[in-house]
Amino acid sequence: MKIVYAIYGASGYGREVLPLLKRQFNLSNENLFFIDDAKNESAAIVNSIPVLNYQRFLNLEADCKNVVVAIANSRIREDLSKKLIEDGMQLISVEADNIVKYDEVSIGSSSIISAFVTLTSNISIGESFQANIYSYVGHDCVIGDYVTFAPAVKCNGNVIIEDHAYIGTGAIIKQGTPSRPLRIGAGAIVGMGAVVTKDVPPGVTVIGNPARPFSKEALRNERK
């Protein structure tokens, strides 16, 4: 039985996921591929791994194709995941071997938990979560589907993060309470280094300390 593994996205994050995948499944470079639609020359090699475009990967002879989507843009991630499932691939989760996970932590399918991530107690996480290096999630947090953490996100306890939210590098999210969790709405974006002290409405981008909605107009006025 021929089993192949692939990382969708041969860019920066994909290369960071490669060592995790190899270690987790004890893989050599054989039967291991990147899928990338922008690098379609037949001879492309990234970090010693062949890069195939999707069609070429689809045409590959194998009994089982395991794929992890290592792309930070959650909408692209969702579209590609749907396409992969429709085409009969298996979506897999990848976890670094040095993550810390306490009691009652559930993580949905096709997630990537990078090195030094800490998930403490009683945490529920949806599908296709990406937690980049050094991020943490505190107790009683509830995280939706297709949520993305850049490196070193500090998400304190009793926080709800809805689907497709993106949390930038080094952002700090204040803890909520059991009766009033702090909520980051669906599709919201938290800028790099932001200090989030209150709820962020769905679709809104916040930046700064304390984090406030980002407005291009306010920024233009500041520059004058």
Interface residues with ligand UDP (CB under 6 A) are: 9-14, 36-38, 71-72, 76, 80
Dist CA 121 CA 106 (whole Å): 10
Closest distance of CB 10 from ligand UDP, Å: 5
Match 């709800």 to its residue by tokens. 160
Q: How far is the CB of 169 from ligand UDP (least distance, A)?
A: 12
Place of tokens 């810390």: 100
Among residues 112 and 160, whose Cβ is nearest to ligand UDP?
A: 112
Which residues belong to the active site?
139
Closest CA to 53 of 86, 29, 83: 83
Q: What is the layout of strands, in order, in the sheet containing 49-52?
A: 45-46, 49-52, 32-35, 3-8, 64-69, 90-91
Beta strands per DSSP E along 10-146: 32-35, 45-46, 49-52, 64-69, 90-91, 94-95, 100-101, 105-107, 112-113, 118-119, 123-125, 130-131, 136-137, 142-143
Residue 120 or 128: the one with the smaller Cβ distance to ligand UDP is 128
Shortest distance in whole angstroms from residue 77 CB to ligand UDP: 9
* Alpha carbons 66 and 74: distance in angstroms, whole number: 19
CB 77 within 8 A of CB 46: no
**Residue 37 or 78 having the CB closest to ligand UDP:** 37
Nearest CB to ligand UDP, comparing residues 12 and 203: 12
Least Å distance between CB 103 and ligand UDP? 31
| Nearest to ligand UDP of 9, 126 (CB atom) | 9
Alpha carbon 125 to its chain centroid, in Å, reads 12
